[in-house]
Amino acid sequence: MDFDGLYEKYAPAVRRFALFLCGDATMADDITADTFLRALQAGQPIREPTVKSYLFIIARNAYRDLQRRSRTRAALGEQEPEAQIGAHAHLEQKQELSAVFAALQCLPEIDRAVLLMRAVDDMPYEEIAAALEISVTAAKVKVHRARAKLMEIRNPAREKLAASGEER
């Protein structure tokens, strides 16, 4: 597969992964570009189970490099609303998405990585383990604990939202 084909096939998944890691659309674009630049410059055959896991490893490393260089956190970019969604439903979805992004940012970076690889990109545990250089069992445990921690963070927020809705 040539580079253009590789980019067209995997760039959306890499960008989504980067966006969930960093929570900033502009930074996710930078990470995505850097990922493909690094992959192009590597000049080595891919040794990971899949091209996707290889690109995720590069994206994660690019995120870590950006994080080291800049410790500031940027706010999430605006999301474009879908035309069919009503204003109220769109507002609820946007609030929920913002809350999930905020909760994700509370998780340690490795927990976000395993959770996103599994939940968003449906990567097998074996690929996650290889990408993060941990055992398959550790990958399964990390995914489980990250999900539990995310729910723990989200439940008080949901209860607060439900209580404020009932008081109206």
Helix, strand, or coil here: 16? helix
Confidence of residue 74 (pLDDT cuts 50, 70, 90): very low
Question: Model's pTM, two decimal places?
Answer: 0.53
Tell whether the model's pLDDT for residue 20 goes beyond 70: yes
| Region 131-154 average pLDDT | 86
The mean of the pLDDT values for the chain is: 77
Asked if 32 and 11 touch (Cβ cutoff 8 Å), the reply is: yes
Q: Write down the number of H helices and E strands in the chain.
A: 7, 0
Long-range (24+ apart) CB contacts under 8 A made by 135-138 are: none
Q: Greater confidence, 164 or 122?
A: 122
The segment with the largest mean pLDDT, out of 14-18, 69-73, 120-124, is 14-18
